[in-house]
Amino acid sequence: MAKASRKGKAKTKAASRTKGKAATNKRKVGPANKGPLYLTEDDVQRLVGVKDAIAALEMLFNTWPDPTTVNLPRQRARIGKGSFNLMGAAWGAADIFGLKAYYGAGGGRFHVLIYSSRDGSLKGMIEADHLGRMRTGAASGVATKLLANPQARTLGVIGAGRQALTQVAAVCAVRKIETVRVFARTTEHRETFASAIERTLQVAAKPVTSAEAAIGDADVVVTITKSAEPVLRANWLKSGVHVNAAGANAAERREVDAETVLRATVRATDHLAQARLEAGEYHDLVAAGRLKWQDIAELGDVLTGKAPGRRGPADITLFKSLGIALEDIAFADLIVRRAHEHGAGHPMP
């Protein structure tokens, strides 16, 4: 009877362990199922932050010279009151390719699809509003890390919209910013944004009543608007400042004036082919014969040393951010891998 009792207990324990493993596997979708995942905006926010996006973009730009890496510039088609935007890329070093699609109008949704280039299989579909905000901020973060003076402590920001907070977070991630000065068109917007910076990033932020007041003594500048006319003037800039022009990504929009571009000793962008289509500030000067496309460096070339960066503390440097598909899929790849590690997301049907 004693032997039978021990066997019974052993069977009960084994059954209990089996049920426990089954329950664990059921909870952890990612590790148990390596098939494609669907990730929501909430999943993205839980899994990654701006520092993760900066690391992903640095890895991307370090490997961009690989001939199997391709960026397809954004295409736009007018639909109703907005436009359908489509952009794609292949990142050879990571064996992935993918696309981003979204509707550029109020209420529009953003999605990234990412595939394996080894077998063409779908790796994941990601709701990409927060993904896009973080990767746009991260591009400015990488540029600031490469081009801003190491002792930069003051940040000036023009614009307080949905993309602005991740811009500030990215700059603060790579420089020891002590003060942020914020200008937006309405008192309410600039005060609300300054409060959000202090609450979220624990950095002192001050709303100011003019763009010039935000920029005058700044070591780093961010413009993050959709303005068709320049919101930043060269005569506001002090010696040694770094400028991230991060908001306008269409040929008819311009955030900085021509003299800002011409004063800069380094003029950079994400991708020259896309800049020829979307960087109005550069395109105007090239068309007028005052600038050559060869005078503009890609961020990846600055990172790898192929193009020169800041030469001295008095240089004014400029990064014209466009937001490219390669940045989206590099960050998306990290998000999908992290989702599998943490059992996040939902299996695709």
Mean pLDDT score across all residues of the chain: 90
pLDDT at 212 over 50: yes
100 and 195 co-located in one domain = no
Domain for residue 200, yes or no? yes
Domain ranges, residue 188: 139-323
Task: Indicate the residue type of 288.
Answer: A
Q: How far is CA 12 from the centre of its chain?
A: 52
Among the listed residues 45, 20, 102, 59, the one whose alpha carbon sits nearest the alpha carbon of residue 339: 45
257 and 316 co-located in one domain = yes
For 109, the 3-state DSSP assignment is coil
158 and 69 co-located in one domain = no
Q: What is the mean pLDDT of residues 185-211?
A: 97
pLDDT at 348 over 50: yes
Among the listed residues 206, 53, 61, the one whose alpha carbon sits nearest the alpha carbon of residue 135: 53
pLDDT at 110 over 80: yes
Residue 38: which CATH number? 3.30.1780.10
Q: How many domains does the chain have?
A: 2
| 95 within 8 A of 115, measured Cβ to Cβ | no
217 and 196 co-located in one domain = yes
Residue 242: which CATH number? 3.40.50.720
Per-residue tokens: 26: 């059921």
Q: What is the mean pLDDT of residues 264-289?
A: 95
Among the listed residues 349, 332, 314, 343, the one whose alpha carbon sits nearest the alpha carbon of residue 44: 332
Against a cut of 0.85, is the pTM above it?
Answer: yes
User: What's the rounded Cα separation, in Å, for the pair 250 and 323?
Assistant: 11
249 and 314 co-located in one domain = yes
pLDDT at 26 over 60: no
111 and 174 co-located in one domain = no
| 37 within 8 A of 340, measured Cβ to Cβ | yes
Which distant-in-sequence residues (6+ apart) come within 8 Å of 279 by Cβ?
251, 269, 320, 322
pLDDT in tens, 147-188: 999 999 999 999 999 999 999 999 999 999 999 999 999 999
